[in-house]
Amino acid sequence: QVQLVESGGGLVQPGGSLRLSCAASGSIFNLDRMGWFRQAPGKQRELVARITKSGSTNYADSVKGRFTISRDNAKNSVYLQMNSLKPEDTAVYYCNADQWGRSSWGQGTQVTVSS
């Protein structure tokens, strides 16, 4: 079982920045894709960004050019640098990691973009 713990959420003004972090622990043998999803009130959970073990990335169109995903394989961690934040980025952000075809989720961290 893989446990994921997110940190770094909070309240930020439009145009501001936040950096989310997620650390994996537990039975880690070969983490494959790691990523971030988000869920706003009344909406479905959606992919924000993903990164493979080799560093290949993909992003939702809504965050391209503003968000950057990265990972540290030695620390079993994944990060999301969020710049130029907009009110529509407000959501609970969830860390996700795949290992041997099984997907694990963090508990989520709230990001609120408001003046």
Please report the DSSP string for 13-48 in residue order. Answer: -TT--EEEEEEEEES-S----EEEEEE-TTS--EEE
Lowest model confidence (mean pLDDT) among 6-10, 24-28, 39-43: 24-28
- Asked if pLDDT for residue 54 goes beyond 90, the answer is yes
* Model confidence band, residue 3 (pLDDT cutoffs 50, 70, 90): very high
- Asked if pLDDT for residue 58 goes beyond 90, the answer is yes
pLDDT tens-digit map of 60-93:
999 999 999 999 999 999 999 999 999 999 999 9
The pLDDT score that the predictor gives to residue 9 is 94
